[in-house]
Amino acid sequence: MSFTTAEYQDRMRKTKERMDAQGIEVLLITDPANMNYLTGYDGWSFYVHQLLIVIIDEDQPIWIGRGMDANCAKITTWLYHDNIISYPDAFVQSDTDHPMDFVADILMQIGQAKRSVGVEMDTYYFTAKCYERLTNGLPNATFRDATLLVNWVRLIKSDQEIAYMKKAALIVERAMQEGINGIQAGIRECDIAAKVLHTQVIGTEEFGGDYPSIMPLIPAGPKTSTPHLTWSDDRFREGDAVIMELTGCYKRYHSPLARTVSIGQPSRELKALSEIVQEGIAACLSGIRPGIACGEVEEIWKKTVAKSGIVKESRLGYPVGLSYPPDWGEHTASLRRGDKTILKPNMAFHLIPGIWNDDYGFEVSETFRVTETGCETLANFPRALAIKDNVSADNIKAL
């Protein structure tokens, strides 16, 4: 297991405290990151229905999933094998039977059918059909929305979690350098993506990497006007700006990082924008400390860049750590105006003040940990706009 049984039990205790405060007696967890957080469960099985049942007056949760995945639960979790229950494969993508029918039946058998049941209503993995079948199968239960209940417990990391994120940061440093080294006019975007992905997985000589929750984002040229493009087989061109937003991942813990490259000398507009954004992110990192609210970080940014006239509509950042596809964010606090969440030591955020204009953009980001007196960035990588020479792919062969 990635953590001691004692740490998992402490996470369970904190989760039950939140359950009690919200009047929830039975919590059904479908978010795979939350399942991992409480038990260690780690398998590529989230494409079928699976869940964790946390009962407020029971010591261990119950895992329910597809039959062929039960041994994964036995291998990766701290649960007793009696608490690992699998449904028959006839329930998988069936027109008549649904895994939540099976779950409802189990809850009835163990005397939990008339209790207050919390479900993660707004997650990627809990569908409208799931809710319909559960409510039909448990007509005497009272259902409550427990979205983000466990996510808020995850907000403050343990020292071991931070150690895993620092390993992920070492991986992303290597992946970013590999990407920047390979970018040249004439090279295909997909070839750079392949180099980055290889580095993300191979990790370092001391430890390997895991698959990232988000694929490498590598928009180039006019595509830098939008942040969430991956790659194509287009070739980079002289004069292109290229944004790379990547992550390292170790034991499912992430440390994202974004940087921008110019193939050849950058335009005057891109150079000016890069300097403004770098000034803003540096000011934010200098001002972050425990005790201030997330919204105050946005105020630092706003005051720093005010003279430039730049207005950033999107948030500045969000918590990161343990995650599964399709996102590496934790979906709780945000570094944006009005968020009153107080920063505390061992919270970890991805600070990403990207600016995307109509035909070009610039990104630089840092994953940071709040310390006792300020913050520390997890990666160590130059923030300046990287400028590559104008050697084309055709000429490289002749060198």
Q: Show the beta-strand stretches assigned E in 67-152.
A: 84-87, 116-119, 142-145
* pLDDT of the residue at 389: 80
Q: What is the dihedral of CA 195, 198, 203, 206, to 10 degrees?
A: -110
8 Å CB contact between 124 and 326? yes
The per-residue pLDDT for range 176-196, each reduced to its tens digit, is 999 999 999 999 999 999 999
More confident residue, 55 or 392: 55
Q: Residue 292: is its pLDDT beyond 80?
A: yes
Q: Residue 270: is its pLDDT beyond 50?
A: yes
For residue 37, the SS3 value is helix
Average pLDDT of the chain, as a whole number: 95
Find the mean pLDDT for residues 157-182.
98
The per-residue pLDDT for range 320-340, each reduced to its tens digit, is 999 999 999 999 999 999 999
8 Å CB contact between 9 and 39? no
Find the mean pLDDT for residues 336-356.
97
What fold does the segment set 156-395 form as a domain? Answer: Creatine Amidinohydrolase (3.90.230)
* pLDDT of the residue at 61: 98
Q: Residue 399: is its pLDDT beyond 90?
A: no
Alpha helix locations (H) across 183-320? 189-202, 268-287, 294-305
The per-residue pLDDT for range 83-121, each reduced to its tens digit, is 999 999 999 999 999 999 999 999 999 999 999 999 999
* pLDDT of the residue at 370: 98
Q: Residue 200: is its pLDDT beyond 80?
A: yes
* pLDDT of the residue at 395: 37
* pLDDT of the residue at 396: 32
* pLDDT of the residue at 231: 97
Domain ranges of the chain: 5-154, 156-395
Q: How far is CA 343 from CA 177, 308, 368, 372, in A?
A: 31, 28, 12, 10
Q: Residue 356: is its pLDDT beyond 80?
A: yes
- Its sign, for the CA torsion 182, 188, 191, 192, is positive
Residues of the chain with pLDDT > 70, as a percent, come to 97
DSSP of 356-399: E-SS-EE---EEEEE-SSSEEES-----SPEEE----HHHHTT-
CATH class of 5-154: alpha beta
